[in-house]
Amino acid sequence: MSSPAKLPQGSVAWFDMLGTLLCEAALRAGLAADCHWSFLERYTDGAVLPNGRVQGIRFDIVNGMPSYRVGVDKDEHADVAIEVSTAVARELNLLYTDDPAYGAALERARQTGQIAMQGDPSLMPDWFTAIHDPLVDRTAAPIAVTER
C-alpha cells in the first residue's frame, strides 16, 4: 500500500485535505440526526487566501451532516475556536501526538499565547482529535500560500 500524498502545510490543498479527513471521520462516527457542532481554526498571522479569508478552516455539523470551508473570517465564531500562529501550526502539524516534542510544543505555545482556544474543548469528540496523526502522515513542509 502506498503512503498518502503529502501536501504543503497551510496551503489551500492542505486545508481541503484536512476538511475531507474531518468529514470522513464524522461520517464514520455515525452522528445523530440532531447533532449540531461547529469548530474553526484560524491562523492569527495567516495569509489571506484567494477566497478573501484568512488561512484556517471552518468545520460544521448541521443535522448530523458534516461540512467544511477553507478559510476563516477574522470575526467568525464557533462552538470551539482555536487561534494559532502559523509557526506553531506548522510545528504541531509535523509532530505525532505520541512524540514528546508535540506535548512540549503545545505547552510552550499555550504559555506564550501563540495558541488559544475559545469554547469548551470537552465538546471536541474523540474522532475529531484522532485525525491529527493521519494529518501528519499527509503533511509536507509548508510553502507560501500563493504557490500552488
Tell me the average pLDDT across 50-68. Answer: 97
Q: Is the CATH number of domain 7-120 3.40.50?
A: no
What pLDDT is recorded for position 45? 96
Domain boundaries, the chain: 7-120
What pLDDT is recorded for position 26? 95
Q: How many CB atoms lie within 10 A of CB 75?
A: 5
Tell me the average pLDDT across 51-76. Answer: 97
Q: How far is CA 125 from CA 15, 26, 37, 49, 96, in A?
A: 20, 9, 10, 28, 19
Tell me the average pLDDT across 22-38. Answer: 95
- At residue 21 the predicted structure's pLDDT band, cuts being 50, 70 and 90, is very high
The whole-angstrom separation of Cα 95 and Cα 102 is 6
What pLDDT is recorded for position 27? 95
pLDDT in tens, 125-147: 889 989 999 999 999 976 555 54
Calculate Rg over the CA atoms of the chain.
Answer: 15
The whole-angstrom separation of Cα 65 and Cα 30 is 10
- At residue 1 the predicted structure's pLDDT band, cuts being 50, 70 and 90, is low
